[in-house]
Amino acid sequence: MIHEAMRTATRILGIALILLLAGGSRPAQQARPAANFTYGGNAAQVPAELIDNLVFLPVRVNNSQPSLFQLDSSAARSSIDPARAAEIGLAELKPAMLNLSGLDVTLGALAEAPKKEASARVGRPFEGTLGGDFFSDLVVEIDYARQTVRFYDPGAYNYSGHGKSLPLTMAGGVPQIPAKFSVSGERPHEGSFIVDTALESPVVISDRYAGSHHVFSTHAKTLPAWDPAAGGERSAVVGRLKGFHLGPYVAENVLAVFSPADLVGTGDAHAAGVIGAGMLRRFVATFDFPHHQLILEPNVHFGETDQEDKSGLGIVAKGPGLKTFEIVQVLSGSPGAEAGIQKGDVIAGIDEDAAADLSLSAVRNWFRQVGHRYKLELEREGKTLEVALQMRRLI
């Protein structure tokens, strides 16, 4: 689908906004699941693991060993990685019982779908996805600050918090909400935005929308972005929005990817863009598909400024244990380029820490710190060398 190509086209391998393919095909309708709250009542809470604001939950499939499944609000179907299914001995996935702490959800079928790029992007083995068929008969509350997810029976759900509800519509099986954004020196723009919990970027603006609405004047500061879907050419840019408006809430100085990919194929050729986990992290976000609403309540992260990567390096994880941190792109004129780092180099250590003791997420977080200077040990064509990498703002 085009939305999947759009996800791929906005993977920023030259900076820390590295965005890769995360979902499957998106048919318009899926069978609704049967949900059962196993401890009685009408709610359950599950601890989450967050990696670069992406949400992963422990799930047992048909009483198997637990696997980490990613919450993906814009994938129509839930799925499991075929290699993981084989590893834990799952031979029958029709129907599939998904057991989370305090909640059982029965799906008519659990698709098998490999996500080869996802493991390299996230830095841990990718095992499964909880998609729209899982969301469809539940109220799903993601508390990004507390790293928990709560599930509610929609028949008994009654929101009593201080957040605000935004109307949620489905187009081609993909949830969308209205939003506005502003760029310095320009009038506000508004449109319908896809909501994608599996996209790391805060906001993506489609090139079609930007062109037709004359978004982003030439005086605004932008950063070239490497586009793997365009053969490596830098055909996308990253810039900062003056403000991004969600109902009464305005997030300031937000990083946005201006993508060359169209959003047709999602069911709405006029979608302005995508709201990703980098924006949702500012809220307790409640996805209420049954009542057609997304409820947002600001958390302690709401006022934070998005931090771009300050190294100019695109990094992925490979090899045993995903501990081989390979440089896949070096942005021209960036600190990485000035340090002499090359595409294909492998980071063997940072300061006094060996790569084997680090995670890809930790490395990316370090490289978002302005003013820091790191000593990198690199492996290049069988040789070891050391370089000094001085962080600085790129945008």
CATH number at residue 383: 2.30.42.10
Q: Using the predicted structure, report yes or no on whether residue 316 has a pLDDT greater than 80.
A: yes
244 and 378 both lie in a single domain: no
Q: Look over the chain and give the mean of its residue pLDDT values, rounded to a whole number.
A: 85
Residues 123 and 198 in one domain: no
pLDDT computed for residue 133 by the predictor: 94
Average pLDDT over residues 177-197: 91
Domain CATH number, residue 26? 2.40.70
pLDDT at residue number 215 = 81
**23, 83, 218, 321 from 264: Cα distances, Å:** 16, 32, 26, 37
With respect to residue 302, please indicate whether it lies within any of the assigned structural domains: no
C-alpha distances in Å from residue 85, one per residue of 54, 66, 115, 311: 22, 11, 13, 37
**Together in a domain, 265 and 131:** no
Using DSSP bridges, classify how beta strands 79-80 and 111-112 pair: parallel, antiparallel or unpaired.
Answer: parallel
Banded model confidence at residue 86, pLDDT cuts 50, 70, 90: very high
Q: Which of 194, 250, 246, 258 is nearest to 220 (CA)?
A: 258
- Work out how many domains the chain is built from and give that number: 3
In a domain, 200, yes or no: yes
Least-confidence region, from 7-16, 100-109, 206-215, 263-272: 7-16
Is residue 368 included in any domain, yes or no?
yes
**308 domain residue, yes or no:** no
**Could you read off the pLDDT of 143-153 as tens digits, one per residue?**
999 999 999 99
Same domain, 232 and 331: no
* Cβ(50)–Cβ(273) below 8 Å: no
Mean per-residue pLDDT, 344-364: 94
pLDDT band at 33, cuts 50/70/90? Answer: low
**Residue 46 contacts residue 141 (beta carbons within 8 Å):** no
pLDDT tens sequence across 217-263:
544 555 655 544 333 444 568 888 999 999 999 999 999 988 766 54
Q: Tell me, yes or no, whether 304 lies in a domain.
A: no
Co-location of 10 and 117 in the same domain: yes
Q: Please indicate, yes or no, whether residues 206 and 91 belong to a single structural domain of this protein.
A: no
**Domain co-membership, 148 together with 275:** no
Structural domain contains residue 284: no
The answer to whether residue 17 is domain-embedded is yes
Q: Average pLDDT of 8-20?
A: 37
- Domain annotation covers residue 28: yes
Q: Which residues pair with 148 in a beta bridge?
A: 47, 143
Candidates 330, 70, 15; CA nearest to 201 is 15
Cα–Cα distance between 349 and 331 in angstroms, integer?
21
- Count, residues in the chain: 395
Domain boundary, last residue among 98, 117, 152? 152
Is residue 60 domain-shared with residue 21, that is, in the same domain?
yes
What amino acid is encoded at 107 in this protein? L
133 and 183: one domain?
Answer: no
Question: Helix H segments across the chain?
Answer: 2-9, 82-87, 116-122, 132-135, 207-212, 277-280, 335-338, 360-366
Q: Which of 65-69, 179-183, 217-221, 275-279 has the lowest mean pLDDT?
A: 217-221
List the domain range (segments joined by +) for residue 71: 2-152
Q: Give the mean model confidence (pLDDT) for residues 25-45.
A: 69
The domain that holds 227 is classified in CATH as 2.40.70.10
DSSP letter at 221 equals -
Predicted local distance difference test score (pLDDT) of residue 381: 93
Same domain, 176 and 266: yes
The verdict on 331 and 266 lying in the same domain is: no
pLDDT band, very low/low/confident/very high, at 382 (cuts 50, 70, 90): very high
